[in-house]
Structure 1
Amino acid sequence: MSFLTNFLLGLGLSMDAFAVSMSSSTTIRPFHLKDALKLAFFFWRISGFYACVGLAWRERSKWLCIKLCSLDCFWASGFIGGKMIYEALYGDPDGKINSLNYPVLLMLAIATSIDALAVGISFAFLNTPILEPVIIIGCVTFFMSFCGAVLGYRIGHFFEHEVEIIGGLILIGIGGKILAEHLLWI
């Protein structure tokens, strides 16, 4: 696969991480550069890891991952998205929402990286070398997550509650997408 194809694949895979990073950064008070780096690091690591796992598991990964991971990601995405919407509507407007704790970051990263697992499985069936695509997908995901976090912080205060609601809806939508894919694979 060419560099351009891998880059566009990485760009497509990183859009949900971009949206979640953008909406998450609106809830962090005070926001620091390390917060954006933490978000980007988690999304980068899990996305690259899932692509490699997809390659390693091949046929077994279809059933195991779809069966076990999909429902967990659906519930986690729905819970975190619902919490974001609740906080936007009823939360303390001056308080810092601790959305960058490690369990939440891990669930967000897993929920936004399920599609990278599917790409890894696809690469396995195509007998495509995976090192270059994983590096490119990881770098693009890191960059897009970092930019989303910074952009969310910079412009999020204009539409703070709306961005949180949209971010929560995006997470719920990602969970619904994962569940729909799970039901199609049964």
Structure 2
Amino acid sequence: MNLASVALLAFSMSTDAFAAAIGKGLALERPHWREAVRTGLIFGVIEALTPVIGWALGRVAANYVEAWDHWIAFTLLGGLGMRMILASLRAPDDEDEAKPNRHGFWLLAVTGLATSIDAMVVGASLAFIEVEIVPIAAAIGLATLVMVSAGVMLGRVLGVMAGRWAEAVGGFLLIGIGTTILVEHLRIV
């Protein structure tokens, strides 16, 4: 693969993580750039590891991974989205209850995993051609770091406009991403 195709692949693998990051930024109280970079690092590391895992699985059983990837992503993203929507509908204990300043590690890790299932499939497909997986995985992780960090900060701007419904909007975004992944894969089959 040439440099242009690796760059295109890297950025295309990070677009769903970018959309999820906007939702994460929406749910926070004015996220700071440090939180954006932290979120980007978590997503980026996961997004860099999944093609390597997919590549290894591709050496063993690519058809099995490919058959279930869209259902896994749909379930994880849909569940997280529903959780965010339900949380937005609960009456706060205090009217002045503030949004969190940061998300927990495990919530970010699960969201990052859900948005990186497609990268695992790409890794599985790359197992059948002669490519070096490590530089490609690093490019995907770096692109995701940049895109997710920007997405969280964009969510900050959108969150000011969205007001108290920001968490619900983020939940609908995650459900939309999961549904899109599912529909795209079912359409191919």
Alignment TM-score, normalising by the size of structure 1: 0.82
Report the RMSD for the aligned CA atoms in angstroms.
2.8
Task: Report what 1:15 is aligned to.
Answer: 15
TM-fit CA distance, 1:155: 3.5
33-42 or 73-82, larger mean C-alpha shift: 73-82
User: Where do 1:21-170 residues align within 5 Å?
Assistant: 21-29=21-29, 31-58=31-58, 59-63=60-64, 66-67=67-68, 71-90=71-90, 92=92, 94-97=97-100, 100-161=103-164, 163-170=166-173
Q: CA 1:96 to 1:64, structure 2 compared with 1: closer, same or farther past 3 Å?
A: same
Q: 1:121 to 1:82 in 2, by over 3 A?
A: same
Structure 1, 142-151 or 160-169: larger mean CA deviation: 160-169
Tell me the CA shift for residue 6 of structure 1.
1.3
CA distance in 2, matches of 1:66, 1:132: 26
Contact 1:85–1:165, Cα closer than 8 Å, also in 2: yes
Following TM superposition, by how much is the alpha carbon of 1:105 offset from its aligned partner in structure 2, in angstroms?
Answer: 1.1
Distance 2:21 2:183 in 1: 23
CA–CA distance in structure 2, aligned partners of residues 114 and 35 of structure 1: 23
1:56 Cα shift? 1.1
- Following superposition, the deviation at residue 4 of structure 1 comes to 1.6
Cα distance between partner residues in 1 of 2:82 and 2:135:
37
1:104 shift after superposition: 1.0
Matched residues, number: 185
**Identity percentage of aligned residues:** 30
1:24 to partner: Cα distance: 0.8
- What secondary structure does 1:105 align onto? helix
8 Å Cα contact 2:42/2:109 also seen in 1: yes
Checking the alignment, whether the CA contact within 8 Å between 1:66 and 1:185 is kept in structure 2 is: no
The whole-number CA distance in structure 2 between the counterparts of 1:129 and 1:76 is: 30
Assess if the C-alpha contact under 8 Å between 2:23 and 2:174 holds in 1.
no
- Report Cα offsets for 1:149-173 as digits up to 9, x if no partner: 1121133211245654443223113
Q: 2-side partners of 1:77 and 1:99: how far apart?
A: 19
- C-alpha change, 1:62 and 1:182, in structure 2 (3 Å) is farther
**Closer, same or farther in 2 for the Cα pair 1:46/1:91, shift >3 Å?**
farther
- What TM-score, normalized by structure 2, do the two folds share? 0.81
Q: Unpaired segments of 5 or more residues in structure 1?
A: none
Say if 1:162 and 1:66 are closer, same or farther in 2 by CA, change over 3 A: farther
| Cα deviations by residue, 1:16-35 (Å, 9 ceiling, x for unpaired) | 11111111112222533321
Corresponding position: 1:171 with 2:174: yes
**Contact kept? 1:18, 1:144, Cα under 8 Å:** yes
In structure 2, relative to structure 1, the CA distance for the partners of 1:159 and 1:182 (3 Å cut) is: same
Task: Give the distance between the partners of 2:36 and 2:19, measured in 1 at CA.
Answer: 13
What is the alpha-carbon distance in structure 1 between the residues aligned to residue 187 and residue 153 of structure 2? 36
